[in-house]
């Protein structure tokens, strides 16, 4: 199969615009999201709804996650890029293992909150995975700060994928003590 296949975890909410951008730049995008309604809303916004594959699974159920991911790759081919917004690292590691069983060279863009920039858990990824971290910071204007909007987050992630750098910060994370509370 020559078509590209992307995966987005959390792609029906905050990362919806990232999913749609990938759909416009890949043949197929499998999306792990929590609700069917958000997936239907996403499909309505897609230029080609047939490019979006809903994976309805709770990523805390690692066995079901693995099964659904393998089914998606059986149908759409190996995954070459994944954008993952999940604080549950065992799921991220399982996703990496399953993709690496069928893909020799692929990119994982792991989206994380700003706290993880300073204190993060170790993550085990296979050699075939080019691991990238995208940290979500905040906006600082003078003495005032605010969290990033969904549009700013999506735009920053898209730019991070385009740049393909090992570590990208969307917004700012310094000085960390000035973050919104």
Global confidence as pTM: 0.93
Does residue 23 surpass a pLDDT of 80? yes
**Nearest Cα residue to 112 out of 91, 139, 132, 129:** 132
Taking the C-alpha atoms of residue 47 and residue 163, their distance in angstroms, rounded to an integer, is 24
Q: Give the mean model confidence (pLDDT) for residues 40-48.
A: 93
Kindly state the helix (H) or strand (E) to which residue 138 belongs, with its residue range: strand 138-141
What pLDDT, in 10s, does the model give residues 74-119? Answer: 999 999 999 999 989 999 999 999 999 999 999 999 999 999 999 9
CATH number of the structural domain spanning residue 47: 3.40.50.720
Whole-number pLDDT of residue 1: 39
Check whether 2 has a pLDDT greater than 60.
Answer: no
Query: How far, in Å, CA of 77 to CA of 108, rounded?
Result: 17
- Rg of the chain over Cα atoms, rounded to whole angstroms, equals 16
Q: Are 149 and 171 contacting, i.e. CB atoms less than 8 angstroms apart?
A: no
Kind of pairing, strands 167-170 and 129-136? parallel
Task: Give the Cα separation of 131 and 128 in Å (integer).
Answer: 9
Burial per residue of 5-32, b for 16 or more beta-carbon CB atoms within 10 angstroms, e otherwise = bbbbbbbbebbbbbbbbbbeebbbbbbb
Domain count, the chain: 1
The Cα–Cα gap between 132 and 109 comes to: 5
Strands 129-136 and 106-113: parallel
Provide the domain limits for residue 111. 5-178
């Amino acid at each position: 199969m020559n078509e590209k296949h992307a995966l987005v975890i959390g792609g029906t909410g905050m990362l919806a615009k990232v999913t749609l951008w990938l759909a416009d730049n890949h043949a197929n995008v499998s999306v792990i999201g929590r609700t069917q309604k958000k997936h239907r809303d996403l499909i309505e916004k897609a230029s080609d709804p047939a490019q979006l594959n809903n994976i309805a699974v709770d990523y805390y159920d690692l066995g079901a996650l693995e099964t659904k991911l393998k089914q998606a790759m059986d149908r759409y081919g190996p995954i070459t890029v994944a954008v993952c917004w999940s604080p549950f690292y065992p799921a991220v590691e399982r996703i990496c293992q399953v993709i690496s069983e069928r893909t020799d060279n692929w990119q994982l863009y792991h989206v994380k909150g700003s706290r993880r920039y300073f204190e993060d858990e170790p993550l085990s990824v296979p050699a075939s995975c080019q691991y990238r971290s995208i940290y979500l910071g905040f906006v600082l204007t003078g003495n005032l700060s605010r969290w990033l909007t969904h549009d700013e987050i999506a735009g920053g992630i898209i730019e991070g994928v385009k740049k393909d750098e090992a570590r990208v910060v969307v917004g700012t994370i310094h000085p960390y003590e000035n973050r919104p509370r």
